[in-house]
Amino acid sequence: MTNKLLDFIKTSLPKLEINSVQINDEGWDNDILIVNQQLVFRFPKTEAIADKIHAEAALLESLINKHLLIGLPVYHKLNDENGKLKCVYYDYIDGAPLKSCHPDKKSAMILGDFLTRLHQINPAQTDLKIERTYAFWENLFHSVQKEVFPLISNSEKEKIQAVFTGFLDDYKACQQLDTIVHGDLTASNIICKNREVTGVIDFTDAQIGDSAMDFAGFYWGWGPEFTHDVLAWYEGKEPAASILKRVQGFYGLQPAFHELLHAVRNNNKAEWDYALARFMELAD
Protein backbone atom coordinates (compact mmCIF):
# COMPACT_ATOMS: atom_id res chain seq x y z
CA MET A 1 0.00 0.00 0.00
CA THR A 2 2.75 2.48 0.94
CA ASN A 3 4.55 1.96 -2.37
CA LYS A 4 1.34 2.69 -4.27
CA LEU A 5 0.82 5.92 -2.35
CA LEU A 6 4.41 6.97 -2.97
CA ASP A 7 4.06 6.20 -6.67
CA PHE A 8 0.97 8.40 -6.78
CA ILE A 9 2.87 11.28 -5.15
CA LYS A 10 5.78 10.92 -7.56
CA THR A 11 3.45 10.89 -10.56
CA SER A 12 1.40 13.85 -9.33
CA LEU A 13 4.39 15.95 -8.23
CA PRO A 14 7.25 14.89 -10.54
CA LYS A 15 9.47 17.79 -9.44
CA LEU A 16 9.31 16.76 -5.78
CA GLU A 17 12.54 15.08 -4.72
CA ILE A 18 11.72 12.52 -2.02
CA ASN A 19 14.60 12.00 0.43
CA SER A 20 12.71 10.67 3.46
CA VAL A 21 9.25 9.35 4.26
CA GLN A 22 7.49 8.79 7.58
CA ILE A 23 4.33 6.70 7.52
CA ASN A 24 1.35 6.61 9.86
CA ASP A 25 -1.36 4.21 8.71
CA GLU A 26 -2.81 3.49 12.17
CA GLY A 27 -5.48 6.18 12.09
CA TRP A 28 -9.12 5.29 11.55
CA ASP A 29 -9.72 7.80 8.74
CA ASN A 30 -6.50 8.52 6.85
CA ASP A 31 -3.13 7.14 5.82
CA ILE A 32 -0.46 9.78 6.48
CA LEU A 33 2.88 10.18 4.70
CA ILE A 34 5.31 12.88 5.80
CA VAL A 35 7.81 13.63 3.04
CA ASN A 36 11.19 15.23 3.80
CA GLN A 37 9.77 16.57 7.09
CA GLN A 38 8.29 19.27 4.87
CA LEU A 39 5.03 18.04 3.35
CA VAL A 40 2.20 15.99 4.87
CA PHE A 41 0.08 13.86 2.52
CA ARG A 42 -3.31 12.68 3.81
CA PHE A 43 -4.96 9.81 1.93
CA PRO A 44 -8.58 9.22 3.06
CA LYS A 45 -9.30 5.54 3.68
CA THR A 46 -12.91 5.67 2.48
CA GLU A 47 -14.98 7.61 -0.04
CA ALA A 48 -17.06 8.99 2.82
CA ILE A 49 -13.96 10.59 4.38
CA ALA A 50 -12.86 11.90 0.97
CA ASP A 51 -16.27 13.54 0.48
CA LYS A 52 -15.90 15.45 3.76
CA ILE A 53 -12.56 16.99 2.80
CA HIS A 54 -14.09 19.71 0.62
CA ALA A 55 -16.08 21.17 3.53
CA GLU A 56 -13.05 20.69 5.76
CA ALA A 57 -10.85 22.68 3.37
CA ALA A 58 -13.37 25.54 3.23
CA LEU A 59 -13.52 25.67 7.04
CA LEU A 60 -9.73 25.89 7.25
CA GLU A 61 -9.70 28.78 4.80
CA SER A 62 -12.14 30.64 7.05
CA LEU A 63 -10.00 29.98 10.12
CA ILE A 64 -6.74 31.06 8.51
CA ASN A 65 -8.22 34.54 8.04
CA LYS A 66 -8.80 34.88 11.80
CA HIS A 67 -5.15 35.54 12.74
CA LEU A 68 -4.77 32.54 15.03
CA LEU A 69 -1.89 32.01 17.44
CA ILE A 70 -1.25 28.55 15.95
CA GLY A 71 -0.57 26.95 12.59
CA LEU A 72 -3.23 25.16 10.55
CA PRO A 73 -3.01 22.97 7.46
CA VAL A 74 -3.59 24.71 4.12
CA TYR A 75 -4.82 21.98 1.80
CA HIS A 76 -3.72 21.32 -1.75
CA LYS A 77 -5.86 18.65 -3.43
CA LEU A 78 -4.67 15.87 -5.74
CA ASN A 79 -7.14 13.87 -7.84
CA ASP A 80 -6.81 10.38 -9.31
CA GLU A 81 -7.08 9.49 -13.01
CA ASN A 82 -10.89 9.58 -12.72
CA GLY A 83 -10.97 13.08 -11.30
CA LYS A 84 -11.83 11.93 -7.78
CA LEU A 85 -10.00 13.27 -4.76
CA LYS A 86 -7.08 10.98 -3.90
CA CYS A 87 -5.34 13.00 -1.20
CA VAL A 88 -4.56 16.42 0.18
CA TYR A 89 -1.15 17.73 1.15
CA TYR A 90 0.01 20.67 3.25
CA ASP A 91 3.14 22.14 4.79
CA TYR A 92 4.45 20.20 7.78
CA ILE A 93 3.77 21.91 11.12
CA ASP A 94 6.90 21.54 13.21
CA GLY A 95 6.50 19.75 16.51
CA ALA A 96 5.10 16.54 17.95
CA PRO A 97 1.62 15.42 19.05
CA LEU A 98 0.66 16.94 22.39
CA LYS A 99 0.44 13.45 23.89
CA SER A 100 4.25 13.56 24.05
CA CYS A 101 4.18 16.84 26.02
CA HIS A 102 2.57 18.04 29.23
CA PRO A 103 0.68 21.20 28.23
CA ASP A 104 1.28 24.33 30.27
CA LYS A 105 -0.89 27.36 30.98
CA LYS A 106 0.29 29.14 27.84
CA SER A 107 -0.93 26.16 25.83
CA ALA A 108 -4.28 26.48 27.59
CA MET A 109 -4.46 30.12 26.53
CA ILE A 110 -3.61 29.29 22.91
CA LEU A 111 -6.22 26.52 22.77
CA GLY A 112 -8.85 28.71 24.42
CA ASP A 113 -8.20 31.39 21.80
CA PHE A 114 -8.38 28.83 18.97
CA LEU A 115 -11.73 27.45 20.14
CA THR A 116 -13.13 30.94 20.66
CA ARG A 117 -12.42 31.79 17.03
CA LEU A 118 -13.52 28.42 15.66
CA HIS A 119 -16.82 28.51 17.54
CA GLN A 120 -17.55 32.04 16.30
CA ILE A 121 -17.86 30.87 12.69
CA ASN A 122 -21.43 30.94 11.45
CA PRO A 123 -22.54 27.36 10.66
CA ALA A 124 -24.83 28.69 7.92
CA GLN A 125 -21.74 29.77 5.98
CA THR A 126 -20.42 26.20 5.77
CA ASP A 127 -21.50 22.86 4.28
CA LEU A 128 -21.00 21.08 7.60
CA LYS A 129 -23.80 19.03 9.14
CA ILE A 130 -24.97 17.78 12.53
CA GLU A 131 -23.50 14.27 12.75
CA ARG A 132 -23.65 13.36 16.44
CA THR A 133 -27.38 13.29 16.78
CA TYR A 134 -29.47 11.66 19.50
CA ALA A 135 -29.53 8.52 17.33
CA PHE A 136 -25.72 8.55 17.10
CA TRP A 137 -25.29 8.53 20.89
CA GLU A 138 -28.12 6.05 21.39
CA ASN A 139 -26.51 3.65 18.90
CA LEU A 140 -23.17 4.05 20.68
CA PHE A 141 -24.85 3.12 23.97
CA HIS A 142 -26.43 0.04 22.40
CA SER A 143 -23.04 -1.05 21.03
CA VAL A 144 -21.47 -0.64 24.47
CA GLN A 145 -24.25 -2.66 26.08
CA LYS A 146 -23.88 -5.43 23.52
CA GLU A 147 -20.07 -5.66 23.25
CA VAL A 148 -18.62 -4.17 26.44
CA PHE A 149 -21.14 -4.98 29.20
CA PRO A 150 -20.59 -8.77 29.03
CA LEU A 151 -16.92 -8.19 29.90
CA ILE A 152 -17.14 -5.81 32.86
CA SER A 153 -18.31 -5.87 36.48
CA ASN A 154 -21.75 -4.84 37.70
CA SER A 155 -20.38 -1.68 39.30
CA GLU A 156 -18.72 -0.67 36.03
CA LYS A 157 -21.94 -1.37 34.12
CA GLU A 158 -23.90 0.78 36.57
CA LYS A 159 -21.48 3.66 36.21
CA ILE A 160 -21.58 3.59 32.39
CA GLN A 161 -25.36 3.18 32.43
CA ALA A 162 -25.75 6.24 34.65
CA VAL A 163 -23.49 8.37 32.44
CA PHE A 164 -25.35 7.46 29.25
CA THR A 165 -28.89 7.66 30.60
CA GLY A 166 -28.26 11.01 32.25
CA PHE A 167 -26.88 12.41 29.01
CA LEU A 168 -29.61 10.99 26.78
CA ASP A 169 -32.40 12.09 29.14
CA ASP A 170 -31.15 15.68 29.04
CA TYR A 171 -30.04 15.69 25.40
CA LYS A 172 -33.01 17.34 23.72
CA ALA A 173 -33.51 19.89 26.47
CA CYS A 174 -29.98 21.12 27.04
CA GLN A 175 -27.84 20.33 24.01
CA GLN A 176 -27.04 23.36 21.87
CA LEU A 177 -26.22 21.96 18.45
CA ASP A 178 -25.42 25.29 16.82
CA THR A 179 -21.62 25.58 16.85
CA ILE A 180 -18.90 24.60 14.40
CA VAL A 181 -16.71 22.12 16.31
CA HIS A 182 -13.43 20.42 15.44
CA GLY A 183 -14.95 17.14 16.60
CA ASP A 184 -11.70 15.32 17.43
CA LEU A 185 -9.56 17.75 19.39
CA THR A 186 -7.43 15.13 21.10
CA ALA A 187 -3.72 14.98 21.93
CA SER A 188 -3.00 13.27 18.60
CA ASN A 189 -4.35 16.24 16.64
CA ILE A 190 -2.69 19.03 18.62
CA ILE A 191 0.93 19.78 17.75
CA CYS A 192 3.38 21.15 20.31
CA LYS A 193 7.03 22.16 20.45
CA ASN A 194 8.90 22.88 23.68
CA ARG A 195 5.62 22.29 25.56
CA GLU A 196 3.89 25.06 23.58
CA VAL A 197 1.04 24.38 21.17
CA THR A 198 2.06 25.20 17.60
CA GLY A 199 -0.77 23.76 15.52
CA VAL A 200 -4.05 21.87 15.19
CA ILE A 201 -4.55 19.27 12.46
CA ASP A 202 -7.08 16.74 11.13
CA PHE A 203 -10.42 18.49 10.78
CA THR A 204 -12.02 15.34 9.31
CA ASP A 205 -14.68 15.27 12.06
CA ALA A 206 -15.52 18.98 11.87
CA GLN A 207 -19.30 19.37 12.14
CA ILE A 208 -22.11 21.35 13.70
CA GLY A 209 -22.55 20.34 17.32
CA ASP A 210 -22.35 21.20 21.00
CA SER A 211 -19.38 23.45 21.83
CA ALA A 212 -18.67 21.26 24.88
CA MET A 213 -17.60 18.44 22.54
CA ASP A 214 -14.35 20.26 21.78
CA PHE A 215 -13.26 20.21 25.43
CA ALA A 216 -13.63 16.43 25.74
CA GLY A 217 -10.06 15.63 24.71
CA PHE A 218 -8.62 18.01 27.31
CA TYR A 219 -10.64 16.38 30.07
CA TRP A 220 -9.86 12.82 28.95
CA GLY A 221 -6.18 13.52 28.37
CA TRP A 222 -5.26 15.85 31.24
CA GLY A 223 -8.24 16.05 33.56
CA PRO A 224 -10.36 18.82 35.11
CA GLU A 225 -7.58 21.28 35.94
CA PHE A 226 -6.28 21.71 32.38
CA THR A 227 -9.84 21.77 31.01
CA HIS A 228 -10.65 24.59 33.44
CA ASP A 229 -7.47 26.44 32.34
CA VAL A 230 -8.56 26.29 28.67
CA LEU A 231 -12.07 27.45 29.55
CA ALA A 232 -10.62 30.41 31.42
CA TRP A 233 -9.40 31.76 28.06
CA TYR A 234 -12.49 30.77 26.09
CA GLU A 235 -15.20 33.25 25.12
CA GLY A 236 -18.34 31.45 24.00
CA LYS A 237 -22.09 31.75 23.94
CA GLU A 238 -22.59 30.39 27.45
CA PRO A 239 -20.79 30.44 30.82
CA ALA A 240 -17.72 28.22 31.17
CA ALA A 241 -19.31 26.46 34.15
CA SER A 242 -22.20 25.30 31.97
CA ILE A 243 -19.85 23.85 29.36
CA LEU A 244 -17.68 22.20 32.03
CA LYS A 245 -20.73 20.48 33.52
CA ARG A 246 -21.47 18.72 30.22
CA VAL A 247 -17.82 17.85 29.74
CA GLN A 248 -17.57 16.29 33.20
CA GLY A 249 -20.92 14.55 32.91
CA PHE A 250 -20.49 12.98 29.50
CA TYR A 251 -18.29 14.41 26.74
CA GLY A 252 -15.03 14.08 28.65
CA LEU A 253 -15.89 10.46 29.52
CA GLN A 254 -17.20 9.21 26.17
CA PRO A 255 -13.74 8.65 24.60
CA ALA A 256 -13.66 5.57 26.84
CA PHE A 257 -16.59 4.03 25.01
CA HIS A 258 -14.99 4.38 21.59
CA GLU A 259 -11.69 3.01 22.89
CA LEU A 260 -13.33 0.08 24.66
CA LEU A 261 -15.23 -0.89 21.52
CA HIS A 262 -12.08 -0.56 19.44
CA ALA A 263 -10.17 -2.69 21.94
CA VAL A 264 -12.83 -5.43 21.92
CA ARG A 265 -12.96 -5.53 18.14
CA ASN A 266 -9.17 -5.65 17.83
CA ASN A 267 -8.38 -7.78 20.90
CA ASN A 268 -6.17 -5.06 22.39
CA LYS A 269 -5.95 -5.72 26.13
CA ALA A 270 -3.65 -2.78 26.88
CA GLU A 271 -6.04 -0.32 25.24
CA TRP A 272 -8.97 -1.95 27.07
CA ASP A 273 -7.31 -1.77 30.49
CA TYR A 274 -6.31 1.86 30.08
CA ALA A 275 -9.70 3.02 28.78
CA LEU A 276 -11.66 1.30 31.52
CA ALA A 277 -9.36 2.48 34.31
CA ARG A 278 -9.35 6.06 32.99
CA PHE A 279 -13.14 6.11 32.75
CA MET A 280 -13.58 4.92 36.32
CA GLU A 281 -11.03 7.48 37.53
CA LEU A 282 -12.70 10.45 35.80
CA ALA A 283 -16.28 9.32 36.46
CA ASP A 284 -15.80 9.15 40.24
Q: What pLDDT score was predicted for residue 175?
A: 63
3-state secondary structure the chain: CHHHHHHHHHHHCCCCCCCCEEEECCCCCEEEEEECCCEEEEEECCHHHHHHHHHHHHHHHHHHCCCCCCECCCCEEEECCCCCEEEEEEECCCCEEHHHCCCCHHHHHHHHHHHHHHHCCCHHHCCCCECCCHHHHHHHHHHHHHHCHHHCCHHHHHHHHHHHHHHHHHHHHHCCCCEEECCCCCHHHEEEECCEEEEECCCCCCEEECHHHHHHHHHHHHCHHHHHHHHHCCCCCCCHHHHHHHHHHHHCCCHHHHHHHHHHHHCCHHHHHHHHHHHHHHHC
Q: Where does residue 204 rank: exposed (0-12), middle (13-18), buried (19+ CB within 10 A)? A: buried
Rounded Cα distance between 85 and 234, Å, is 36
- Cross-strand pairs, 43: 31
2-93 and 97-283 share one CATH topology?
no
Domain boundaries, the chain: 2-93, 97-283
Q: 161: closest CA among 82, 253, 76, 72?
A: 253
Q: What span, in angstroms and rounded, lies between the C-alpha atoms of 169 and 47?
A: 34
CA distances to 68, 107, 108, 149, 246 from 113, in Å: 8, 10, 9, 39, 20
Does the pTM surpass 0.85? The reply is yes
* CATH topology assigned to domain 97-283: Aminoglycoside 3'-phosphotransferase; Chain: A, domain 2 (3.90.1200)
Residues of the chain with pLDDT under 70: 1, 100, 173-175
Report the CATH number of the 2-93 domain. Answer: 3.30.200.20
Please write the tens of the pLDDT for every residue from 110-119: 999 999 999 9
